[in-house]
A and B are shown apart, each in its own frame.
Chain A
Amino acid sequence: MTNVREIKRRIRSVKNIAQVTKAMQMVAASKMRRAQEQVLATRPYSAKAWEVLTHLAAQRGNRQEMHPLLTRRDPIQTTGILLITSDKGLCGAYNGNVIRTALHFMRDLGHPTRLITVGRRGREFMIRHGGNIIAEFSDLPPRPSLLDITPIAHTAIDDFLKGEFDEVYLVYTDFINTLTQQPTVRRLLPITPGQAESSVMREYMSDAPLHATGEYIYEPAPQAILDAVLPRFTELQIYQAILEALASEHSARMVAMRNATENANELIGDLTLSFYRARQEAITKEMLDIAGGAEALVSARA
C-alpha cells in the first residue's frame, strides 16, 4: 500500500517538473527566435567590416606605424581573453563547452593571461580556478544594442593600447543552427592580414583573393579615417560575438529544456506503469486474503 502512495507522489512531482521545464522551453524558444533573427541580421555587416579590417592590415609599407591597433608586438608576454558565457545556467553543455575551449587555449598559450569575462557563469568558474580577471560584465539586456557593449569594447581596446596585454582573443560560441553551436577562439587585436574569420561569417566574405594593390587612398587623411574605422569595427566584432553567444545560449537552453521535458514525460510513463502494477498487486493480494479467509472459515465449520 505504501508503495502505491509513494509512486503516486513521485508521479505528481515529476509532472510538476515537466510543467516547469515545458514553460522554460517555451520562453527559451521565443527568446531564441529573436536572438537568432538579430544575429543573422548583423552578420553581413560584421563580416564586411572584418574584411575591411584585414585589408587594412594587409597594407604594405610602414603598416607598423600606421596605427597602434595594427601593430604586432614581439615577444607577446600577456594575452587578453574576452570570454563570453551566459549569466544563467540550465542550458546544457553551453557554458561548459566554451569554458573548456578557453582553458585549453590558455594552457596551450603557455604565458600569463588576463581575462575579461562577459556573463556570470564564466566569471564564477574563472574565480574558482584562479583565473586572472581584470574586468567582468554581466546582466546585459536581453537584446543588447551596440551602445550596451561599448564599455566592454573600450576596456579591451584601452587595455591593449596601455600594454596590459599584447594581444586580445575572443572566446565565444558561434551560432550555427538551433542544434549546433560552435565554441570559437578568434584573435581580435592586433588586427593582422589573412587572419581567420569565424566559419559563420565566411558566407558573406568575398572569396576572391585580395589584389596585390598599392597603398589605399584615404579620405579624409589616413590617420583620421583609421582612428574612426579601427576602434569602431573592432567593437563591432565584439558585438557580433555577443549576439552569436546569445543566440547560441537560448538555442542550447531550448534544446536542454526540451530534452528535460521529454525525459520527464518518459519517466511519468514508466512510473504510471509501475503504479498500475503495484495497485493491481495490492488488489490481488487483498482478494487472496479474503478468499483465503473464507476458505479457512468453510473448512473450520466442516
Chain B
Amino acid sequence: MPLKLDIVTVERLVYSEDVDMVIAPGIEGQLGILPRHAPLLTALTYGELRVKRGGEEESFAIGGGFMEVQPDRVTVLADTAERAEEIDLERAQAARRRAEEHLERQLQNKVDFARSEAALRRSLIRIKLGEARRRRGGRRTETPKPGVRTPSE
C-alpha cells in the first residue's frame, strides 16, 4: 500500500507523489511515517524532510508548518519547503550571514530578534541540505536509521 504524500506551501504545490516512507522533522523529534500509520496531527519544525520512494530518497528543507497523517496519505502544510536540488547554496549562506549580523544588533527588540532567528534557522537547514547534496554529487545512497515508529494496526 503506497502512501500518498502532498507537500504544499502558500506559494505552490511542492510535491505530490505516492511514496514508501516519510521522515519528518516533528516539533517533538523526528518521526518516520510508513503506510497504515495511525492518524496524527503534528506541528513541524525547521528541518529536513526525507522521502523514500522505490529505493531512492529525496530531501526537502522545511521551515516549520503542520503535518496531517492518515493511514494512506500524508499532507504537509509547510511554511516554506523546497527540494534539495532547488536550494541556492550561495544565497542561503548570504542569508545566514545577514541573519547573524541582525541577531547581534537586535538583541533588545524581541520581534525583530524572533524574525532574524527564524531566518537564521531557515538558512542553516538550507545550507545543511545543499552541502550534503553537493558532497554526494546529488544522489543519496545510504539508508539512515531514524527513530522509526511502528505503524498502528
Contact = CB atoms under 8 A, between A and B. Distances in A.
Given A44-B12, A220-B27, A55 B40 contact: no
Interface of A: 41-42, 44-45, 48-49, 51-52, 55-56, 146, 204, 206, 208, 210-211, 213-220, 225, 228-229, 236
B72 interface: yes
Given A48-B75, A229-B66, A216 B41 contact: yes
Contacts of A229: 41, 66
Interface in B69-92: 70-73, 75, 77
A51 B75 contact: yes
Contact of A217 (B9, B39, B72): B39
B41 A206 contact: no
Contacts of B77: 45, 48-49, 52
B41 A52 contact: yes
Interface residues of B, number: 26
26 contacts: A41-B11, A42-B10, A44-B6, A45-B9, A45-B13, A48-B8, A48-B77, A51-B75, A52-B41, A55-B70, A211-B39, A211-B70, A213-B71, A216-B39, A217-B39, A217-B40, A217-B41, A217-B42, A218-B41, A219-B27, A219-B31, A219-B40, A219-B41, A225-B66, A229-B41, A236-B10
Contacts, number: 80
A-B pairs with the 8 shortest C-beta distances? A219-B42, A44-B13, A217-B40, A213-B39, A45-B8, A44-B8, A52-B68, A216-B39
B66 A218 contact: no
Nearest to A224: B43
B11 to A, nearest CB: 5
B72 A211 contact: yes
Interface in B96-144: none
Contacts of B42: 217-220, 225
Contacts of A215: 39
Nearest to B11: A41
B4 interface: yes
